[in-house]
Chain A
Amino acid sequence: MTIWKISIQNLRSKPFYTFLSVFSLALSIALLLGIQQLETSFKYQMENNLGDIDLVIGAKGSPLQLVLASVLHMDNPTGNIPYEDAKKVSKNPMIKSAVPISYGDNYKGYRIVGTTNEFANFYHAALEKGQAIKKSMEVILGHTVAEKLQLKIGDTFLSSHGLVDNDIEKHSESLKVVGIYKPTQKVIDRLIITNLESIWDVHHTEDEHEHEDEHGPGHEHKESHIGHPEDVYEGNEITSLLISFRNPSALLALPRRINKQTNMQAALPKYELDRLYKYTGVGVKTISWIAYMILVISCMTIFISLYKMVKEHAFDLALLRTYGASNFQLIRMVGYEGCIIGLLAFLLGILLSKMGLYFMFKIVETEYKQNMLHELPFTEFLQIGALVLIMILTSISLAIYPIIKMNISTILSHEK
């Protein structure tokens, strides 16, 4: 016989109350853990996806949209910019690397990005299999794409126009897989990389077919450009230009100049994301507050349950005192009850939050084609643990007050 055993038996003798206390506390813990992990994962994934990109230049419009579309590949592009203009900007000495990207097609929902070989450097992505792109209509797959679509080197496929999977606007020329990247846990994992020429070729060829009857022979795009030298592409457009700087001082000067002097806009991904967090932060805060409220309420449930036990079982407790139990032993008995509830709730809470997030991310994963779950840092985990512990200890110390004040003699003679 130990005090632990008595505490456990006490809890088992009132299963409904115990379940209610454990469950409501677990729910608030799950909510707190879940929301924290969600926020951490979200921020981590966003910032991780930025890679080494310091600045993005694209068509005028919403800077947030430009960042979401061209850096995180989550939104539609703001428009196109002339490749010539982008090239001029690239010559700025403050720029370490400037990579043009052009997109507008997808294959089964995965975006096809036309760019240069430098694009992979932003994400430190190395080839796992195959080789670099040598000519138009060759592609390298991000790791997730290859895995999910079961594509191998040498496979060919037809891309669809637009950013959403569809069978109606299929292009007629097939793309050939020449390489697959190693996993990076960054946005490149879910992209299909090709060169700029592939994108232009696909669209020019289609322009040609579409407009053949209207314009007849002599239309500027009447020939297929596959394999043609680069000067043929003069006058072409790209979607945006991704830039990394040599040193951070350029962060202020260059965007201002571009926004003032050119027809393009420059957006700082980090700044735009911070703005985004401010919008989404309201939601996170609201849910956090709800979770804290539930935490307080569930701790009150525990307090009431313990207090009720102490009050209703006052005679039992007084009886234990006549058995030779000290006040401290009775306090421990109540304390252990609270601790068992807290521990069970914490374990159940972790389980609930893990399960909840798992299913949530299953849905998000299919939508964004990327595993976004990121483990909660241990310190945050501890913080929530400590908060719950403090709340439980408070409930316990309030509940044991009647024990300290207990007059055994009065209780025994009154309940006789």
Chain B
Amino acid sequence: MVQTDNLTFHYKKKEYTFRFPNISLKNQENLLILGKSGIGKTTLLHLLAGLLKPVSGTIIINGAPINRLSHSHLDTFRGQNIGMVFQKNHAIRSLNVFDNLQARLFFGRKSISKPSIDDLLEQLDLSDFKKSKVNELSEGQLQRLGFALSVIHNPQVILADEPTSSLDDENCKMVMDLLINQAKRTHANLIVITHDHRIKPLFSKAITL
């Protein structure tokens, strides 16, 4: 459940104040946020992830007013409930695939059994690369690892920032399927920001900034 009310944000060096429309998502509801670049899509996503603090307004995720949480509580909340998917996929370069997932769980203070991790890797066709270094992976494998890292801890909210803009149609469909299925499986809300109109039909709810 995600709810925002009268959310505004102001960057220190800029005159302009972002005002965001209210969001109200029930359990398992997904949302597509469309808009031109520079309109504040990423800012809104970071507000929802608790990476930025709003100037005014409230954000409530699963009953927790995250704009009022202390730093340490926010870190914990983010680690446990939020999964972020980025346009370009990153993982910790010094760790191998399996250790990256372990690190994700460690910092998120979640414990997932080893077989479940193996299951996820199997599902994403990464089983053979469990012990591989991140820089040994192909672009596609890295993309799937990025996805694994965002969902391994079964987050309540999955926030995706332009997950498909650099992908061809086939991969675009694959990534969106993965995201939507994962959200369905764990009863999570999926919020995607994009200017990619290909994925519009997949969402019943959409707002434009």
Is B26 among interface residues, defined by CB-CB distance under 8 A? no
Q: Mark the stretch among A66-74, A226-234, A324-332, A372-380 that contacts chain B.
A: A324-332
Contact present for B80 and A412 (CB under 8 Å): no
Mask, A1-25, CB within 8 Å of B = 1, is: 1100110011011100000000000
Contact present for B93 and A412 (CB under 8 Å): no
Given A324-B76, A324-B80, A324-B109: A319 and B90 interface contact (C-beta under 8 Å): yes
Is B116 among interface residues, defined by CB-CB distance under 8 A? no
Is B20 among interface residues, defined by CB-CB distance under 8 A? no
Partner of B105, one of A1, A13, A412: A1
Is B51 among interface residues, defined by CB-CB distance under 8 A? yes
Partner of B95, one of A2, A6, A324: A6
Mask, B77-108, CB within 8 Å of A = 1, is: 01110101011101111110001001111111
Given A324-B79, A413-B42: A329 and B51 interface contact (C-beta under 8 Å): no
| Chain A residues near B80 (CB-CB < 8 A) | 324
Is B59 among interface residues, defined by CB-CB distance under 8 A? no
Given A409-B46, A412-B86, A416-B162: A322 and B78 interface contact (C-beta under 8 Å): yes
| Chain B residues near A316 (CB-CB < 8 A) | 90, 92-93
List residues 150-209 of chain B with CB under 8 A from any CB of chain A: 161-162
Contact present for A6 and B79 (CB under 8 Å): no
Contact present for B161 and A1 (CB under 8 Å): no
List residues 175-224 of chain A with CB under 8 A from any CB of chain B: none
Contact present for A13 and B94 (CB under 8 Å): yes
| Chain A residues near B29 (CB-CB < 8 A) | none
Shortest CB–CB separation between residue A409 and chain B, in angstroms? 4
List residues 317-345 of chain A with CB under 8 A from any CB of chain B: 319-327, 329
Closest to A12 in B: B94
Shortest CB–CB separation between residue A81 and chain B, in angstroms? 76
Distance of A354 Cα from B149 Cα, bound (Å)? 48
Distance of A315 Cα from B131 Cα, bound (Å)? 22
Contact present for B42 and A320 (CB under 8 Å): no
Partner of A6, one of B46, B88, B94: B94
Contact present for A416 and B103 (CB under 8 Å): no
| Chain A residues near B161 (CB-CB < 8 A) | 412, 416
Is A408 among interface residues, defined by CB-CB distance under 8 A? yes
Shortest CB–CB separation between residue A311 and chain B, in angstroms? 14
List residues 24-58 of chain B with CB under 8 A from any CB of chain A: 42-43, 46, 49, 51-52
| Chain A residues near B90 (CB-CB < 8 A) | 315-316, 319, 415
Contact present for A1 and B103 (CB under 8 Å): yes
Distance of A110 Cα from B108 Cα, bound (Å)? 74
| Chain B residues near A129 (CB-CB < 8 A) | none
| Chain A residues near B92 (CB-CB < 8 A) | 6, 316, 319-320
Distance of A326 Cα from B94 Cα, bound (Å)? 19
Contact present for A412 and B99 (CB under 8 Å): no
Is A256 among interface residues, defined by CB-CB distance under 8 A? no
Given A316-B90, A412-B46: A323 and B103 interface contact (C-beta under 8 Å): yes
Is A313 among interface residues, defined by CB-CB distance under 8 A? yes
Closest to A309 in B: B94
List residues 387-416 of chain A with CB under 8 A from any CB of chain B: 408-409, 412-413, 415-416
Is B68 among interface residues, defined by CB-CB distance under 8 A? no
Distance of A206 Cα from B84 Cα, bound (Å)? 101
- Which of A2, A324, A325 gathers most chain B CB within 10 Å? A324
Distance of A246 Cα from B45 Cα, bound (Å)? 91
Mask, A299-315, CB within 8 Å of B = 1, is: 00000000000000101
Shortest CB–CB separation between residue A67 and chain B, in angstroms? 61
| Chain A residues near B49 (CB-CB < 8 A) | 322
Mask, A244-281, CB within 8 Å of B = 1, is: 00000000000000000000000000000000000000
Shortest CB–CB separation between residue A377 and chain B, in angstroms? 41
5 closest residue pairs by CB, A with B: A324-B79, A13-B94, A1-B102, A1-B106, A323-B107
Given contacts A6-B103, A9-B95, A319-B91, 4 further A-B contacts (CB under 8 A): A1-B99, A316-B90, A320-B107, A323-B107
Binding site for B on A (CB under 8 A): 1-2, 5-6, 9-10, 12-14, 313, 315-316, 319-327, 329, 408-409, 412-413, 415-416
Binding site for A on B (CB under 8 A): 42-43, 46, 49, 51-52, 71-72, 75-76, 78-80, 82, 84, 86-88, 90-95, 99, 102-109, 149, 161-162
